[in-house]
């Protein structure tokens, strides 16, 4: 693994220092607090200033956090906004697939379910909004790990417990699986989290192409699986082990939501 | 609404039903398949005309052009022909009133929209000695600016020479259903001049008990009955389309928008209720075949009537400010950037911190009827944050629903078992859970959000035998989500008591001199 970039680490330390309170700090305070040469600290501050992350007060020459940083912080997509935009699309996916639909986002090292549409039959179901799912083995989690570097790090650094006989836990096969997900543009979970249950998921991307969430169809393996692939010990599951038409439907739905939240490239 | 709602898997090969939704801001046509799935949508907005403060008009000729375009648009997007369409259903903005010349087909004036308050003085004059409830027993409605009868009277009084032409029989009256059906079925060339029982029940001219125009009220209101349409059921063939994209297809249903939503939500049994959460909220409860007189200030209205079966009635309660309060938090207070963010803000705390928000921006409606009330935020302490206020905003919608539901139970003797919900605010999970908690009843969201258009399609499909009966429609109904009550009874009772205290604080704010 490559070493971290020192100047970026130092810049982050400067920002943290400035975010530490109401204070505005002078160059020498900053340099001495972080144990940096004045020239080094100045170079960092100048660069951050050019990016708008830091501002210098004209009168005193002291530094404070810049407006660009606030803008960055606020531009993250509100999950409730995401649910509102996804509502029509996910309803339609549930109806066309005949299965339940979940929308998840990365949250504290796992997948937080922010929207859930029941499987459209008459069975009793419980709303799972607010529940957490594991990152490393669910279809939603794999999509997030494959397309969001933060999720990827959390899954690599976190625990990857074995939940069924099929759960992929070791780093090398896990990375291989994520590479396949990136290649295909969607992820599957064939009984890797719950016995008898499969899922297929695709990413929702924001304006900047960032994977801000994922949409999954989840159901019994005998309905979602490629015939003969999922069930039984005999024979390895094909490519991803789920019906290609479902994968296409999930991707269409996720693209629709992406378009609605401003990603015009889909 | 995006137009790519055609879904992901194939919808089969038909046949289909086309629903026209002539709404306040736009006209839409939605094509449904036998499972009640949306196959295609087309939509076009029309101009909102504000000639004076409080006046709102629509150009009915523009609306008719738009209706023809969206019908053609939806059929073409669905990739089908008129032979695949078994019937056309209509749903419409209620109470919006139009008079037109039956010989030329030209409107004599813009349509007067339901929100328009120009009949304020007129309705007070009509209630002069008796009060707003003068015709409540016959019509189920209090005198108010919403309803169509007084709007027609205003036109007759204010358009030069109109009354003479009307009395000669040259003028036709209609709500938007009548206008669309008359034009669809041929217009000056033999168009059917009809309305359905639900739309007629919003004119203040129809007697709820026999479903006929009430001659005495028409006379007192000054509306000549020669210009009134024939009152039909909500589901029967009124005629066939002449010309256009659906030439020859039966026109087979009409329902006011809220009644259509009741129908689309499959509220076919006594006690079934739906509530539509948008800018404002409309709650309707099926009271079966008896018109329930309301002592709590709810409206008594016709829910629907299928062919020659007995009419089914409903109690209706509306809340003026629900989604509008969320918009107010966004636009006036600047506390959130988008409406859904209210949930983010509200979820950052566990309760309302003791704060209650009564959004009586233009007075209190059912069941309080206190026009002198104004909005209050009460229970404030130094502890309360904007997040508590956000919670109080959502709770206000929930408690107002509870008050209407209680009033409905009181009037009808029927307990609410489940509330079916639709509208933009149903995306708010915290609100839906709060609603279940304060109602102490499950709240259910159906899979098809377009319940209004679906209701019109269902009624039209029943009329032509596309679906055999309401049981078949119920079988189509799918639950997308359900919220079950989780609030402790003690907490619910305490919170309700606090809410009612807050409501009391809002009352009587205006002095006589302010009014
Ligand atoms: N997630 C949400 N939470 C709370 N309110 C919402 C949410 N999404 C939309 N709204 C509110 O719902 C209303 C829009 O719903 P809609 O059904 O489109 O209404 P209408 O048909 O009256 O225009 C707006 O007033 C908006 O503030």
> What CATH number corresponds to the domain at position A12?
1.10.10.10
Q: Are residues A235 and A201 in the same domain?
A: yes
Q: Mutate which of B339, B478, B482, B485 to disrupt the A interface (most A C-beta within 10 Å)?
A: B478
CA B483 to each of CA A217, B265, B266, B351, B442: distance values in angstroms, whole numbers, following the listed order: 21, 17, 19, 18, 6
Q: Are residues A105 and A59 in the same domain?
A: no
Residue that is last in its domain, among A15, A33, A65: A65
Q: Are residues A11 and A50 in the same domain?
A: yes
Closest atom of ligand 1 to B423 CA is: 17
pLDDT band for position A241 (50/70/90)?
Answer: confident
For residue A71, tell me if it sits in a domain: no
- Predicted complex ipTM: 0.81
The predicted model gives B434-463 an average pLDDT of: 94
- CB B136 within 8 Å of CB B143: no
Does residue B12 carry a pLDDT above 90? no
- CB B198 within 8 Å of CB B188: no
DSSP 8-state assignment for residue A152? H
Best of B425, B432, B452 for a ligand 1 pocket test (most atoms within 8 Å of beta carbon): B425
Cα–Cα dist B296/B407, whole Å: 6
For residue A148, tell me if it sits in a domain: yes
Task: Tell if the CB–CB gap between A83 and B8 is shorter than 8 Å.
Answer: no
Give the model's pLDDT for residue A75.
55
User: Where do runs of H (alpha helix) occur along B14-58?
Assistant: none
Percent of chain B scoring above 70 in pLDDT: 97
Does residue A27 carry a pLDDT above 80? yes
For residue A74, tell me if it sits in a domain: no
Residue A223 structural domain: 79-260
State the CATH number of the domain containing residue A137.
3.30.450.40
Percent of chain B scoring above 90 in pLDDT: 78
DSSP 8-state assignment for residue A234? S
For residue A265, tell me if it sits in a domain: no
Best of B115, B276, B279, B391 for a ligand 1 pocket test (most atoms within 8 Å of beta carbon): B279
CA A84 to each of CA A165, B277, B349, B424: distance values in angstroms, whole numbers, following the listed order: 37, 14, 21, 8
Distance from CA of A104 to the nearest CA of B (A): 15
Give the model's pLDDT for residue B366.
80
Q: Are residues A89 and A181 in the same domain?
A: yes
Residues of A in contact with B342 (CB under 8 A): 80
Residue B486, judged by CB atoms within 10 A of its CB (0-12, 13-18, 19+), counts as exposed
Pairing of strands B16-22, A211-220: unpaired
- A159's CB contacts (< 8 A; 6+ apart) are none
Residues of A in contact with B8 (CB under 8 A): 92-93, 96-97, 248-249, 252-253
Give the model's pLDDT for residue B391.
98
Cα–Cα dist A117/B432, whole Å: 14
Q: Tell me, using a 6 A CB cutoff, whether residue B279 lines ligand 1.
A: yes
- CB B346 within 8 Å of CB B393: yes
Distance from CA of A102 to the nearest CA of B (A): 12
Output the average pLDDT for chain B.
92
Does pTM surpass 0.80?
yes
Determine which residue's CA is closest to atom 27 belonging to ligand 1.
B323
User: Strand B26-32's sheet: what is its strand order?
Assistant: B38-45, B26-32, B16-22, B85-92, B250-256, B235-240
pLDDT band for position A207 (50/70/90)?
Answer: confident
Cα–Cα dist B423/A171, whole Å: 46
Does residue A141 carry a pLDDT above 90? yes
Give the model's pLDDT for residue B5.
40
For residue A70, tell me if it sits in a domain: no
Task: Tell if the CB–CB gap between B1 and A260 is shorter than 8 Å.
Answer: no
Closest atom of ligand 1 to B276 CA is: 17
For residue A73, tell me if it sits in a domain: no
What total of structural domains would you count in chain A?
Answer: 2
Cα–Cα dist B119/B124, whole Å: 8
Q: Are residues A47 and A109 in the same domain?
A: no
Bridge partners of A25, per DSSP, are A63
Give the model's pLDDT for residue B66.
96
Which B-chain residues 482-501 have CB contacts (< 8 A) with chain A?
A: 482-483
- Residue B445 Cα to ligand 1 midpoint, Å, equals 15
Does residue A254 carry a pLDDT above 50? yes
Which residue in the set B9, B338, B483 is minimally distant from A78, CB to CB?
B338
Give the model's pLDDT for residue A157.
87
The predicted model gives A108-135 an average pLDDT of: 93
Q: Are residues A248 and A154 in the same domain?
A: yes
The predicted model gives A99-106 an average pLDDT of: 96
Which pair of tokens denotes residue A5?
């970039």
pLDDT band for position A29 (50/70/90)?
Answer: confident
- Residue B237 forms contact with A (CB below 8 Å): no
Give the model's pLDDT for residue B36.
86
Q: Are residues A164 and A230 in the same domain?
A: yes
Which residue in the set A74, A117, A249 is minimally distant from B480, CB to CB?
A117
Does residue B10 carry a pLDDT above 60? no
Does residue A230 carry a pLDDT above 50? no
Q: Are residues A35 and A90 in the same domain?
A: no
Q: Are residues A46 and A137 in the same domain?
A: no
- Residue B336 Cα to ligand 1 midpoint, Å, equals 14
CA A158 to each of CA A110, A136, A167, A211: distance values in angstroms, whole numbers, following the listed order: 10, 9, 15, 20
Does residue A51 carry a pLDDT above 70? yes
Q: Are residues A131 and A251 in the same domain?
A: yes
- Residue A172: CB atoms within 10 A of its CB come to 8
Collapsing DSSP states into helix, strand and coil, what is residue A21?
Answer: coil
- B81 vs B2: which has the higher pLDDT: B81
Q: Are residues A31 and A132 in the same domain?
A: no
The CA-based dihedral angle spanning residues B107, B109, B110, B115, taken in that order and rounded to the nearest 10 degrees: -120
Task: Tell if the CB–CB gap between B480 and A120 is shorter than 8 Å.
Answer: yes
Give the model's pLDDT for residue B325.
95
């Amino acid at each position: 693994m490559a070493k971290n970039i020192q100047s970026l680490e130092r810049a982050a330390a400067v920002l943290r220092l400035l975010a530490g309170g109401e204070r505005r700090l002078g160059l020498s305070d900053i340099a001495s607090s972080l144990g940096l040469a004045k020239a080094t600290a100045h170079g960092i501050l100048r660069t951050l200033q050019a990016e708008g992350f830091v501002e210098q007060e004209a009168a005193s020459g002291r530094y404070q956090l810049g407006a660009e940083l606030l803008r960055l912080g606020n531009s993250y997509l509100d999950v409730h906004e995401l649910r509102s935009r996804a509502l029509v699309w996910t309803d339609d996916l549930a109806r066309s697939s005949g299965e339940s639909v979940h929308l998840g986002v990365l949250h504290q090292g796992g997948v937080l379910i922010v929207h859930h549409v029941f499987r459209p039959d008459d069975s009793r179901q419980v709303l799972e909004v607010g529940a957490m799912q594991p990152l490393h083995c669910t279809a939603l989690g794999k999509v997030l790990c494959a397309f969001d570097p933060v999720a990827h790090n959390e899954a690599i650094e976190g625990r990857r417990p074995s939940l069924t006989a099929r759960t992929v836990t070791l780093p090398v096969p896990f990375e291989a699986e994520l590479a396949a997900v990136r290649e295909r543009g969607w992820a599957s979970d064939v009984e890797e989290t719950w016995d008898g249950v499969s899922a297929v998921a695709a990413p929702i991307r924001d304006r900047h192409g960032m994977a801000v969430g994922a949409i999954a169809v989840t159901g019994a393996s005998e309905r979602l699986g490629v015939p003969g692939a999922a069930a039984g010990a005999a024979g390895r599951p094909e490519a991803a082990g789920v019906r290609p038409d479902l994968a296409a439907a999930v991707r269409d739905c996720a693209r629709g939501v992406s378009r609605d939240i401003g990603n015009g490239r889909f | 609404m995006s137009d790519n709602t055609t879904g992901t898997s194939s919808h089969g090969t038909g046949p289909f039903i086309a629903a026209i939704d002539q709404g306040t801001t736009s006209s839409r046509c939605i094509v449904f398949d036998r499972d009640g799935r949306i196959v295609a949508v087309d939509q076009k907005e029309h101009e909102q005309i504000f000639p004076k403060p409080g006046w709102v008009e629509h150009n009915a000729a523009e609306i008719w052009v738009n209706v023809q375009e969206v019908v053609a648009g939806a059929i073409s997007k669905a990739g089908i022909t008129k032979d695949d369409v078994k019937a056309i259903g209509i749903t419409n903005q209620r109470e919006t009133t139009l008079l037109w010349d039956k010989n030329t087909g030209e409107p004599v004036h813009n349509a007067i929209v339901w929100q328009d308050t120009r009949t304020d003085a007129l309705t007070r004059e009509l209630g002069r000695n008796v009060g707003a409830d003068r015709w409540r027993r016959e019509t189920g409605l209090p005198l108010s600016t919403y309803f169509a009868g007084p709007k027609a009277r205003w036109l007759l009084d204010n358009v030069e020479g109109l009354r003479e032409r009307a009395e000669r029989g040259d003028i036709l009256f209609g709500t938007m259903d009548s206008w669309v059906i008359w034009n669809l079925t041929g217009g000056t060339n033999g168009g059917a001049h009809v309305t359905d029982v639900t739309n007629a029940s919003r004119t203040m001219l129809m007697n709820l008990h026999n479903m006929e125009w009430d001659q005495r009220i028409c006379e007192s209101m000054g509306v000549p009955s020669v210009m009134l349409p024939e009152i039909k059921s909500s589901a029967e063939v009124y005629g066939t389309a002449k010309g256009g994209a659906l030439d020859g297809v039966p026109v087979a249903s009409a329902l006011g928008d809220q009644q259509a939503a009741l129908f689309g939500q499959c509220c076919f049994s006594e006690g079934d209720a739906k509530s539509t959460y948008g800018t404002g909220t409309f709650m309707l409860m099926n009271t079966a075949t008896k018109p329930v007189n309301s002592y709590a200030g709810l409206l008594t209205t016709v829910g629907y009537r299928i062919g020659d079966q007995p009419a089914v009635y409903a109690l209706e309660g509306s809340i003026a400010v629900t989604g509008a309060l969320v918009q107010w938090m966004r636009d006036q207070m600047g506390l959130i950037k988008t409406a859904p963010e209210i949930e983010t803000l509200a979820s950052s705390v566990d309760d309302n911190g003791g704060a209650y928000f009564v959004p009586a921006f233009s007075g209190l409606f059912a069941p309080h009827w206190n026009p002198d009330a104004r909005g209050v935020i009460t229970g404030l302490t130094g502890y309360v944050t904007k997040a508590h206020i956000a919670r109080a905003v959502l709770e206000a919608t929930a408690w107002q629903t509870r008050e209407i539901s209680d009033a409905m139970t009181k009037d009808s003797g029927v307990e609410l078992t489940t509330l079916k919900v639709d509208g933009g605010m149903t995306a708010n999970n915290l609100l839906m859970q709060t609603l279940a908690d304060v109602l102490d009843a499950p709240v259910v969201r159906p899979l098809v959000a377009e319940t209004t258009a679906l209701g019109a399609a269902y009624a039209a499909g029943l009329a032509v035998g596309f679906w055999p009966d309401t049981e078949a429609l119920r079988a189509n109904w799918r639950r997308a989500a359900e919220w079950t009550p989780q609030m402790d009874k003690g907490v619910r009772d305490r919170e309700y008591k606090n809410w009612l205290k807050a409501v009391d604080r809002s009352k009587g704010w205006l002095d006589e001199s302010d009014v």
